[in-house]
Each structure stands twice: as structure tokens, then as C-alpha cells.
Amino acid sequence: MKDTTPTTFAEIDSAKVKATIEKIDAALKDKPVSKQVKQKLDYAKKKWPEALDRYAVQEAIMGDNRNSYSKTDTDATFMRMKEDHMGNGQLKPAYNMQISTSNQFITNYTIHQNTTDTNTLKEHLNEHKRCYHSMPTVVTADAGYGSEENYAFLEKEQVTAYVKYGQFDREQNETIQQKHPFTADKLFYNEKGDFYVCPMGQRMEKKGNYVRETTTGFKQTITKYQAKDCSRCPLNGVCHKSQGNRVIEVNHNLNRHKREAKENLQSEQGIAHRKQRCHDVEPVFGNIKGNHHFKRFMLKGKEKVTTETGLLCLAQNFRKKNAIEVKKAA
């Protein structure tokens, strides 16, 4: 019987490669073999196990959440810098520095190896809890942090969230909204009957659910809905571009979080918090980088960089405090 078990890359290691090459070598031992075949076998025997061992070491250094590291600082990840003097988007070894501020004083800082901000929020807030023995009562952040996992975490910790999601700013622009009138988020949803209605009034029935797992292991439940017959619809080709009947995928839990986030952000308190953020956290980064010319870490390794960041934050807070005292004395 033929073995139909699929082979995955995770199952391949240097020992198995060596064993396979030895089997091939033994099978060809008493048979006439060309010079080219012998050369290829010798190359595979010499290079492949060694390469797989090297890859295993590199993967161990990167861990599960990274796809790159610097040879001069293995804790650093290659990221795109905003300050790119070459102007060609070069990747450079870096750390993702996260700070929390209150009236331009730094209250919390963390160093991350993630290239994006989305997966840093939980660790950052857990560090706040470790330092202050409680979570902050309110968090204000931009769209880089607006994921289902983060919203769920903030809800669980009972933190009032003024956190934008990806399309929040675009939703405020009527011109952009008019350009895309048939997107899934604009379709009418009958919550009681659990079906959507397409632009022509046709019901889009539920076809089932599936679970999607993010890179951090967070599980999202996605629901599929499909229209009955799009073949004779006058909006076919405009409403959607896919072949056959239109299918949409909806994350109801994420949509619930988005509705709550939108309500918070558009409230009187939410508008005040958004305005406060513009002249609270951004000027701190601007002062550190622009006025005090700190644009690169002098130390290597995440632990040392974290210590260096702590000293940097202390210096920033001392300067801010001094500026306030000088202003009062004037």
C-alpha cells in the first residue's frame, strides 16, 4: 500500500538527509553510474546535512516570531527605518521601542523584536502592570494596534480603549466611501436571521465557519456567506470581481470590537483623548530624535538595549521636569 502521509519541511533534518543519501548510494553501488551522478551525490553528502544544521541554529536564534536577525547583534531584527538617508528603503538591524506617556512624561517603556506594533501591545501593558501593580484605566493608540487580539485583551483587562482600527480614518472620508459602495462592511446584516443582503436585495446565506490562527497563535472565527445566483445580476462585475456567486468572509467578533471602538473614538471623551495623543507621545519621540539626536542604540543585545532605553527615558523625564521648573520660575 502506498504511503500517502504528506512530508513537511518540519520533518526534514540532517540525520534523515544523511540516511536518504546513504540509501541512494547503496542502491547505486553495483550499478553503472555516470560521473555527473556521483558528483551530485558527493555534493549532497557534503553540503546538505551541514546546511540543514546551520539552518536549525539560525531558526533557533530567530525563534517563532521573527524571520531575520543581524549577525552582529542576533537579538536585533531587520526593519525599515523612517530615517533612510539612502532613500531606497534599506532594511537595517533594529529594535521596536514602545513607550507610554502622560503629559509628555514617559511612564512605561519596552523593547521588542517585532517589526510591527500590533503584537507589542500585550507585552507592553503587562510590563506596566508589573511596574505599577495594575493595568492603566485608559489606553489611547493609533491604528497600528487595532487588532482583534488586542481589543479582546483590553476588554478582558477592563481597560477603556480608544484604539483606532485599520479603516477608521478612511471611514471618515465620504469621498473614499463613495468610491467603494459594495464592500462587505456596507452590506445589510440581519442579525436575527444571520444573513446578509446584497446590493440587489438578494439574501446571502451562511455557508459555515472556519478558524484562522494568527502568527501569535490567536484564533479567529471566520463566517462565510454566499449569494444564491449572481449570473443575471446587472451589478455583476461591479459588486464583486470573483467568478461565480459572491462569497464574503466576516469576522463577527472583530466587527463587534470595531463598533465599540468607533463609538468610543467618536465620543466626546474619545475626541479629547485623540487630540491629547497628538501632542503627548509624538513630541516625546520628536524631542529624543530631533533635539537630542538619539537615533541609534550604542549597545547590543536586547537586555543591554532595554537598560539603555531606561536611561534614555530617565533623561527625557528629567529634561521635561527641568523645563517645567524653568518655565515656572520665569
Per-residue pLDDT tens for 75-106? 999 998 877 666 667 889 999 999 999 999 99
Q: Could you tell me if 90 and 84 are in contact, meaning their C-beta atoms sit under 8 angstroms apart?
A: yes
H helices of the chain, in order, are: 14-27, 35-62, 121-132, 148-156, 168-171, 174-179, 252-266, 268-278, 281-286, 302-329
Angle of the 121-132 helix axis to the 148-156 helix axis, nearest 10: 20
Q: What's the domain count of the chain?
A: 3
Q: Which domain holds residue 288?
A: 78-169+261-329
Domain CATH for 152 = 3.30.420
Q: Could you tell me if 38 and 21 are in contact, meaning their C-beta atoms sit under 8 angstroms apart?
A: no
Same domain, 229 and 293: no
Q: Could you tell me if 136 and 125 are in contact, meaning their C-beta atoms sit under 8 angstroms apart?
A: yes
Same domain, 155 and 122: yes
Same domain, 148 and 287: yes
User: Would you say residue 289 lies in a domain?
Assistant: yes
Give the distance, in angstroms, between the CA of residue 43 and the centroid of all CA atoms in the same chain: 40
Give residue-wise pLDDT tens across range 266-300: 999 999 999 999 889 999 999 999 999 998 999 99
User: Would you say residue 14 lies in a domain?
Assistant: yes
Same domain, 270 and 133: yes
Q: pTM for this structure?
A: 0.83
SS3 102: strand
Rounded to whole angstroms, the Cα distance separating 195 from 227 reads 10
Same domain, 225 and 288: no
User: Would you say residue 309 lies in a domain?
Assistant: yes
